[in-house]
Amino acid sequence: MSGKARKQRNNIFEVIEYFLRDRKIEFIFLSRNFINFSGQIQKIYPWVRIISLVHIPYIKKGLKELLCIIDLSRIFRYLSTTHLTFEDLLNIDYPKEYLKELDVVRRYVRDDATVYFFTPFGYRNFKNIEKIMLCAKFTDIELIDENLFKAHKRKLVKYKFEEGKFTIEETTSLKKIGKIQEFAKKILNDFNFDIRIDSLFNLYSDFFLVYNNYKEEEIISFARYTWYIPNHFLPCMLAVEENTSRHIKVESPARFHYAELFAPYINNVWGYVAYREITKVLLEHCRRINTYAIFTTCNANDRSAKHFFTEIFGFRDTGIVLKYGTFGGRWSLLVGEKDKIYPRIKRFLE
């Protein structure tokens, strides 16, 4: 955009007029706050197709460009700690609406598509918006003016390794995420793994899996990278320290980027091979998006998993043992800090 079009615009119809006339965009996503404009828009522009959580049209191919009108003005609040539990989140209105809407937007565009995000009420902190967009799997985020920015849909990781025997894949498929959760329930059944609680973090997590190409895509390993974003908590923040009611505290969450890895270690030959590959991808993912500190946990009685993170990647054992709600077991909290682990990751990836 240039000239007159670069001026701040907070009038929805003015913005729509520009994009329909000059950009030739045919699809508009309207968030819940603005769905009442859909009738007026289609009356003026009858050829335009509206996408929303309420009305999702069938589109055979992914879109190359899309205008998204969405309210991101309330994305600003970081909390360093909480007194909430996992069960509390099942019973309160945990804010997910904009994450659902961004998920729909992402699914309707092709890889590397350009999406223009118009926010009529602006936003309090664009760094927070950038983090949300990265979480929603967009990249190359560029601020145009106080109400408008653009981004590209990020291509997901997928490749074969171990001479083609296995595939590692980053996935957003609801079907595959469901398979991951069923696999997690199977291997963690002794710990009372609850899919309902685990699903609380799906919308702001990145999922990776390794499967066997010769056994009907049998899953042999998986990992989840959960973002710490405004209005949402990391799983470890909802846990409590062993024999207490204390929750951990995250320092300066608005200044630094934190995340939590959930990557159970499967103790067999192929499990180790898969775990090594998926850990490599995860830590490269952390480096690419400049994660400042990464939390993870391992079974306090599992020396192999703890050794893998502390001795190979330089994670620090905090000495804290957590209890994850109704999930069983004792879980040692490990933290990987950027200045300590990134040099090791670089050597590991070379």
The pLDDT score that the predictor gives to residue 5 is 39
Both 146 and 234 in one domain: the answer is no
Question: Mean pLDDT in the chain?
Answer: 88
pLDDT exceeds 60 at position 198: yes
The pLDDT score that the predictor gives to residue 316 is 93
The pLDDT score that the predictor gives to residue 173 is 93
Both 14 and 75 in one domain: the answer is yes
Both 328 and 343 in one domain: the answer is yes
Tell how far CA 266 is from the center of its chain. 24
Both 182 and 115 in one domain: the answer is no
Average pLDDT over every residue of 249-259? 89
Give the percent of the chain with pLDDT over 70.
Answer: 95
Both 183 and 261 in one domain: the answer is yes
The pLDDT score that the predictor gives to residue 33 is 86
- Residues 289 and 325 sit within 8 Å (Cβ to Cβ): no
The pLDDT score that the predictor gives to residue 308 is 79
The pLDDT score that the predictor gives to residue 125 is 85
Both 330 and 222 in one domain: the answer is yes
Tens-place pLDDT, residues 114-158 = 999 999 888 888 888 999 999 999 999 999 988 899 999 999 999
The Cα–Cα gap between 178 and 158 comes to 18
Find the CATH number of the domain harbouring 212: 3.40.630.30
pLDDT exceeds 70 at position 1: no
Helices (H), 83-211: 86-91, 97-107, 126-135, 174-187, 195-198
The pLDDT score that the predictor gives to residue 313 is 83
The pLDDT score that the predictor gives to residue 349 is 60
Both 281 and 335 in one domain: the answer is yes
Which residue in 289, 288, 266, 290 sits closest to 278, CA to CA?
A: 266
Average pLDDT over every residue of 260-272? 83
Both 191 and 148 in one domain: the answer is no
The pLDDT score that the predictor gives to residue 237 is 95
Last residue of a domain, one of 153, 179, 207: 153
pLDDT exceeds 80 at position 88: yes
CB-based contacts of 127, cutoff 8 Å, min separation 6: none
Residue 334: its H or E element: strand 331-337
Tens-place pLDDT, residues 297-343 = 999 988 877 887 888 888 999 999 999 999 999 999 999 998 888 78
Both 141 and 164 in one domain: the answer is no
The pLDDT score that the predictor gives to residue 4 is 39
Both 184 and 206 in one domain: the answer is yes
Tens-place pLDDT, residues 152-176 = 999 999 999 999 999 999 999 999 9
Tens-place pLDDT, residues 47-87 = 888 998 877 777 777 899 999 999 888 777 788 899 999 99
In three-state secondary structure terms, 286 is helix
pLDDT exceeds 90 at position 18: no
The pLDDT score that the predictor gives to residue 320 is 95
Last residue of a domain, one of 131, 153, 175: 153
Both 67 and 81 in one domain: the answer is yes
Tell me the pLDDT band of 2, cut-offs 50, 70 and 90: very low
Query: Which domain range does residue 283 map to?
Result: 158-349
Last residue of a domain, one of 153, 174, 199: 153
Average pLDDT over every residue of 13-28? 83
The pLDDT score that the predictor gives to residue 6 is 39
Domain count, the chain: 2
Residue 151: its H or E element: strand 148-153
Average pLDDT over every residue of 23-39? 88
Both 16 and 106 in one domain: the answer is yes
275 or 151: which leads in pLDDT = 151
The Cα–Cα gap between 2 and 281 comes to 39
Both tokens of 13, joined, read 């119809």
Tens-place pLDDT, residues 187-196 = 998 899 999 9
The pLDDT score that the predictor gives to residue 259 is 96
Which residue in 273, 75, 238 sits closest to 167, CA to CA?
A: 273
Find the CATH number of the domain harbouring 109: 3.40.50
pTM as predicted: 0.90
pLDDT exceeds 80 at position 39: yes
